Amino acid sequence: MSTSIAGDADRLAIRARGLTRRFGELVAVDHVDLDVPARRVYGFLGPNGSGKSTTIRMLCGLLTPSDGQIEVLGLQIPAQADALRPHIGYMTQRFSLFEDLTVRENLEFLAAIQGVPKSRTKRRIDELVDQYHFADRQKQLAGTLSGGQKQRLALAGAVIHEPELLFLDEPTSAVDPESRRDFWEKLFELADLGTTLLVSTHLMDEAERCHRLAILDRGRLVADGTPGELTAALAGRTFLIDTADPRRAQRTLVDVPGVLGVAQVGTSLRVLAGDDKGMIQRMDEALAAAGQHAGVAPAAANLEDVFVAATRGGVTGAGDREREHAA
């Protein structure tokens, strides 16, 4: 998919340098550099509290950065935030439409506020009602919609004025898997139509769908690239261990020099190691010394490994961090 729009790859929708935001002593976002290409779905992956929402709020001019420069669609933020607003859509983490207005009333309100021309308002709302499957729910109060329906309505509201750039802050956190799939299809449709999307998530499978992504951890940008690039960088560092007693094997393996993380997946173990040579042999020996029978085999890296590698960096041994995975 990324090759079809390669011609646009040079155009940046967002460019941020040294973006920093402090809340008193806490540094929520710490010198983040971002380059978000136009017409792509760009993912922000990170656990709760990693600074995703704060970064998004700074990029759309809702929060003033403590430090750093931002350029969004060629405008300096926050100085030119007012000029930017008509060109962006923002879907907040919490459902932020009016629960005591109906589906149609919400859309009518947003159309007026966003300056959709009066002559086009009715047609545009009909179009959205149709596209987002609200035909039989136009008169239903938004507060009585299900989680997935609310998200769909929020997205419809965010794109009512056909913005060039759409910010989505954990849009699917309260949605079942089926609705999530539909939702992501809508996002790709929008990208195909030329919208740039910036989506934050803490779900690995969602991150994998993005054209490009940035991984945030405790306010720092720890990795960025396409999902393919990010996983390819870990080639030869991930292993699958088949053992009869995964819990014991896990305790043995975390102490092996070079091991960054061990996670149990079903009855097997997934190991992420540092860039050392001879890891398989080292793990085999450690398991044998502990009297355990296990088969160690190389495995393909996934985004979860990327995330663990990026956030644990050079730290050897996983025992010092309680948080196993972001998901």
Nearest to 86 by CA among 64, 114, 59, 107: 114
Among 57, 150, 209, 282, binds other proteins (CB under 8 A): 57
Question: How big is the site for other proteins, counted in residues (CB under 8 A)?
Answer: 33
The answer to whether residue 257 forms part of the interface with other proteins (CB under 8 A) is no
Out of 5, 9, 62, 263, the only residue in the binding site for other proteins (CB under 8 A) is 62
Q: Name the residue nearer to other proteins (CB basis): 153 or 241.
A: 153
> What minimum distance in Å lies between the beta carbon of 240 and other proteins?
43
As measured in angstroms, the least distance from the Cβ of 10 to other proteins is 28
43 versus 157: smaller Cβ distance to other proteins: 157
Examine residue 168 and tell whether it contacts other proteins (CB under 8 A): no
Q: Which of 10, 94, 136, 289 touches other proteins by CB under 8 A?
A: 94
With CB under 8 A as the contact rule, the residue among 2, 48, 69, 96 that binds other proteins is 96
Length of the chain equals: 327
3-state DSSP helix/strand/coil % of the chain, to nearest 5: 35, 30, 35
> DSSP letters of 251-291?
HHHTTSTTEEEEEEETTEEEEEE-S-S-HHHHHHHHHHHTT
Is residue 90 part of the contact set for other proteins (CB under 8 A)? yes
Indicate the residue among 109 and 188 with the shorter CB distance to other proteins: 109
> What is Dmax (Cα atoms) for the chain?
78
Of 67-86, binders to other proteins (CB under 8 A) are 78, 81-82, 85-86
Residue with Cβ nearer other proteins (78 or 258): 78
Give all strands of the β-sheet with 196-201 in edge-to-edge order: 88-91, 165-169, 196-201, 41-45, 212-217, 220-225
Scanning the structure block, which residue is given the tokens 């983490």? Answer: 93
Closer residue to other proteins in complex, CB, 154/234:
154
Based on DSSP, count helices (H) and strands (E) in the chain, helices before strands.
11, 14
- In angstroms, what is the minimal distance from the CB of 31 to other proteins? 19
- In degrees, rounded to 5, the angle at the alpha carbon of residue 180 between the alpha carbons of residues 265 and 107 is 160
Find the shortest distance in angstroms from Cβ 77 to other proteins. Answer: 12
User: Rounded to the nearest 5 degrees, what angle is found at the Cα of 171, between the Cα atoms of 91 and 58?
Assistant: 50
The binder of other proteins chosen from 1, 79, 112, 193 (CB under 8 A) = 112
Indicate the residue among 175 and 310 with the shorter CB distance to other proteins.
175
Please, what sign has the CA dihedral across residues 201, 207, 212, 215? positive
Instruction: Check residue 110 for interaction with other proteins (CB under 8 A).
Output: yes
For 88, the token pair is 């962006």
What is the identity of the amino acid at 199?
A: V
Contact call for residue 242 and other proteins (CB under 8 A): no
Question: Edge-to-edge, what's the strand order for the sheet holding 12-23?
Answer: 26-37, 12-23, 67-72, 75-77
Out of 114, 196, 252, 311, which residue is the one contacting other proteins (CB under 8 A)? 114
Contact call for residue 2 and other proteins (CB under 8 A): no
Residues that bind other proteins (CB under 8 A): 57, 60-64, 78, 81-82, 85-86, 88, 90, 92, 94-101, 105, 108-110, 112-115, 118, 141, 157
